[in-house]
């Protein structure tokens, strides 16, 4: 009998983090799944991590000699997948124990939804610092315009929090491998053409954000490449001009904020100039971009200290943070 989920985990030189990721998968309360864990040409201790978990039932370990990137790994697994739903866990992220269980409940409750996602916690500098969205946020669900899959303006997801019906690929095809960052978003645009979206407001994953200094080669930091992929997703979605302008303003403002936080004010101004919005967020970011880099660096350090000292905002997050610490210290 086919499993409900096919879990896909590409890994490239993330051995220590991958060990935690696989521990979180092994801790799932729902076990009707298969998993493809793919070593994408790593040169670190990833094979040793595979050896540690090789006894897990229905886990398929694959090694590529050359790097195929995220899209290539995911497509390899999708071509061999047996699950009704495909779902993804990045090699530096974690799933809380009931993640698959809760997704299975949603899939049963709403079989018309072909695109599912959940809330998640954000892990930064060893602390859970927030959620992807407030549980009371009015996130849309049902049959939506495809462009709503672009950015987190309407649907606040990341791929670690996503599952979609594998049957959707019959019309959409697989992930594009000519995109470097947002091949997932471009595919989700196509899925929303034919399928409803639904979500779980409860945080069910832990998404790791890498700092510029600790992980300078991180894909999440190659922002200009991501913007190029954003434009490709826009072409696929083909929104009306008003929606396209709204999306561009939102993404460019967010990009300017990212550059400012990472001490690149000139790049922040470059993206601010691309926007047509001239409200409060624009002027706040523009004023910040005029500060000298030492002042921005001081503000960043002060904010990091404040964040580190702040208690968990609710009991559920405190429990999740304790679980992450336990995962990190257990053998």
Residues 75 and 88: their CA atoms lie apart, in Å, by 12
What are the DSSP calls for 206-248, one per residue?
EEEE--TTT-TT-GGG-HHHHHHHHHHHHHHH---HHHHHHHH
- What was the pLDDT predicted at 229? 94
Number of domains in the chain: 2
63 and 189 housed in the same domain:
yes
322 domain-assigned: no
204 and 269 housed in the same domain:
no
Q: What are all long-range contacts of 272-275, with beta carbons under 8 Å and residues at least 24 apart?
A: 274/248, 275/248, 275/249
Given a contact cutoff of 8 angstroms between Cβ atoms, the answer to whether 90 and 160 are in contact is: yes
- What was the pLDDT predicted at 211? 61
With a CB cutoff of 8 Å and minimum separation 6, the contacts of 33 are 3, 4, 5, 6, 7, 58, 83, 100
105 and 251 housed in the same domain:
no
Of 193, 211, 229, the residue at which a domain comes to its end is 211
317 domain-assigned: no
172 and 223 housed in the same domain:
no
301 domain-assigned: yes
290 domain-assigned: yes
157 and 258 housed in the same domain:
no
What are the φ/ψ torsions at residue 74 (nearest 5 degrees)?
Answer: -65, -40
Range of the domain at 59: 5-211
131 and 74 housed in the same domain:
yes
Please report, for the domain that includes residue 92, its CATH number. 3.90.550.10
328 domain-assigned: no
The pLDDT tens digits of the residues spanning 116-169 come to 999 999 998 888 999 999 999 999 999 999 999 999 999 999 999 999 999 999
Residues 176 and 51: their CA atoms lie apart, in Å, by 31
130: left (phi over 0), alpha (psi -120 to 50) or beta: left
pLDDT in tens, the chain (331 residues): 899 999 999 999 999 999 999 999 999 999 999 999 999 999 999 999 999 999 898 999 999 999 999 899 999 999 999 999 999 999 999 999 999 999 999 999 999 999 999 999 999 888 899 999 999 999 999 999 999 999 999 999 999 999 999 999 999 999 999 998 899 999 999 999 999 999 999 999 999 987 654 444 444 457 888 899 999 999 999 999 999 999 999 999 999 999 999 999 999 999 999 999 899 999 999 999 999 999 999 998 888 787 777 777 789 999 999 999 999 998 7
The pTM assigned to this predicted structure is 0.92
From the list 316, 67, 286, the residue with the least C-alpha distance to 180 is: 67
93 and 123 housed in the same domain:
yes
64 and 147 housed in the same domain:
yes
89 and 12 housed in the same domain:
yes
264 domain-assigned: yes
Residues 306 and 311: their CA atoms lie apart, in Å, by 10
What are the structure tokens assigned to 267, written together? 């790049």
Given a contact cutoff of 8 angstroms between Cβ atoms, the answer to whether 75 and 175 are in contact is: yes
318 domain-assigned: no
Residues 206 and 133: their CA atoms lie apart, in Å, by 13
263 and 148 housed in the same domain:
no
29 domain-assigned: yes
For residue 188, the SS3 value is helix
9 and 142 housed in the same domain:
yes
Residues 67 and 12: their CA atoms lie apart, in Å, by 8
281 and 180 housed in the same domain:
no
CA 305 and chain centroid, separation: 25
Of 159, 184, 211, the residue at which a domain comes to its end is 211
């Amino acid at each position: 009998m086919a499993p409900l989920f096919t879990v896909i985990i590409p890994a490239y030189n993330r051995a220590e983090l991958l060990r935690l990721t696989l521990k979180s998968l092994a801790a799932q309360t729902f076990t009707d799944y298969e998993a493809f864990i793919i070593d994408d040409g790593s040169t670190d201790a990833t094979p040793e991590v595979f050896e540690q978990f090789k006894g897990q039932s229905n886990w398929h370990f694959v090694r590529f000699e050359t790097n195929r990137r995220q899209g290539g790994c995911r497509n390899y697994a999708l071509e061999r997948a047996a699950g009704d739903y495909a779902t993804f866990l990045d090699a530096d992220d974690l799933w809380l124990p009931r993640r698959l269980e809760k997704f299975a409940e949603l899939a049963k409750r709403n079989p018309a939804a072909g695109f599912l996602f959940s809330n998640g916690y954000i892990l930064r500098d060893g602390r859970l610092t927030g959620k992807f969205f407030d549980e009371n946020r009015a996130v849309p669900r049902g049959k939506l315009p495809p462009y709503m899959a672009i950015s987190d303006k309407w649907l606040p997801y990341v791929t670690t929090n996503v599952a979609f019906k594998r049957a959707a690929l019959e019309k959409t095809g697989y992930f594009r491998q000519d995109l470097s960052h947002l091949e997932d978003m471009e595919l989700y645009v196509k899925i929303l053409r034919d399928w409803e979206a639904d979500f779980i407001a409860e945080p069910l994953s832990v998404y790791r954000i890498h700092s510029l200094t600790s992980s300078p080669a991180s894909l999440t930091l190659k922002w200009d490449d991501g913007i190029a992929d954003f434009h490709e997703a826009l072409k696929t979605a083909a929104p009306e001009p008003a929606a396209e302008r709204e999306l561009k303003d939102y993404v460019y403002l967010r990009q300017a904020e990212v550059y400012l936080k990472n001490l690149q004010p000139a790049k922040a101004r470059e993206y601010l100039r691309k926007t047509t919005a001239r409200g409060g967020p624009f002027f706040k970011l523009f004023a910040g971009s005029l500060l000298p880099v030492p002042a921005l660096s001081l503000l960043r350090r002060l904010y990091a200290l404040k964040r580190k000292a702040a208690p968990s905002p609710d009991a559920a997050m405190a429990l999740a943070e304790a679980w992450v610490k336990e995962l990190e210290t257990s053998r």
